[in-house]
Structure 1
Amino acid sequence: MSNQDLWVLVEVDGQCKSVPLTISLLMLALTVPCINDLQHFNPGFSHYAEPRKWLRLNNEHVNEIAQLIIQQDPALINLECSKVYPRFSLYTYARILSCPHSLKKASALSEFLKFRRSWESWDDISALVNHQSVRDDLVACLTSVDEIHGTQDHPDDNRTVPGRILTIDAIAIDALLWEAITDPTQYRRLLKRRIHEAQSALNLLQAVSR
């Protein structure tokens, strides 16, 4: 590792560590097939039929893709699967890693990890209620990446890579909602939430079921 490599301070297991931002050509090439894999998921059954199983298989698939990325460099952060937008979150991480090392990349990675830490303490209901803020945070990170690459992502267009990834994440949110209202324990937890939080989740359910 040369003295000119850039490093960023991040929090890992409660400790502040320096993480190198250098990315090898192998890592750059690896993110392409991994990003392609994030666009595809078909467990062979509807998320309405078995929402919990669908979510488990979806998370396992995302974690498998994440391992393909991080195993190439032990310095990379091993991210746990986020409760909402797990694919879009990993896509954003991969896009940041594919950037040439620079101060802008350091800033983008630091901002992304800061957002991730703020979500980790949420339970499923909190994640559902705040899903839009998670999406907004990730889009903001992607905007920074686009400025580095000189590209432009179009997450609202389902014909694009991020758009197709978000389509699967939207199904995952739907599955979380169905689990919340069909599982007695989850449903009781939902009813115990503050009125505006419970109403936000119910509004989301109405929106996705139309």
Structure 2
Amino acid sequence: MSGRLHADGPECARAHRLGRRLRALREARGLTRRELACAAGVPLRTLSRLESEGVAQPGLFTVAALARVLEVTVDELVAAAGAVPGLWSTGYEGRTIDSFVAALVDAGVDAVADVRLTPISRKPGFSKSRLSAALAEADISYLHLRSLGNPKDNRAPFWDGRVGEGLAAFADVLAAEPARRELAELAELAVERSVAVLCFEQDESRCHRQAVLAELHQRTALPVAALA
């Protein structure tokens, strides 16, 4: 596992979301930090702190100046920072790593919980080391929860329409102590931050993560949304 995560509080999470959104908008417009800071009349050091460290209460005039240059409204920019804690369901099937990370940023996701038993992939960018690095570039945390992975011999039921059978078998996995411990950790994180639960299948109905998310919803009462 690539390190455990601890919630830093809602103010810290909002600050980091705003920083991620600023950086994504700046890069989409082909601007360097220096160019954006100069055009907005904002000190470069201030912009660097906003993007890299997160500032809990950035000045209104600073945010307004940056929004003007980035061609968005203040409301649109601040809305990205106000994403509420919650749960997202996502599969990387059919995605590129760049489009996947961009979708996470747009949704205000703070952390990705990888529930693949073995986090390797033939798709470029989605093996553990490269995925965690790509997410880190966007200031999104990554954790691999191996105990919430679906055993290899229980995957066929989800793929060939015997989903009920697959869910019944996976219930035994969730009942084991390692899985209960990781579920508790994930639930604690989700009540403070926006978390995407990741596996391969784009269609959640063909993936065991539906059981993980159902259990988390029961524990936290948080809504679950599909990542577009």
Which has a greater percent of helix?
1
| Common fold by TM > 0.5 | no
Rg larger for: 2
TM tier relative to shorter chain? under 0.3
Which has a greater percent of strand?
2
Give the TM-score of the pair, scaled to structure 2: 0.23
Give the TM-score of the pair, scaled to structure 1: 0.24
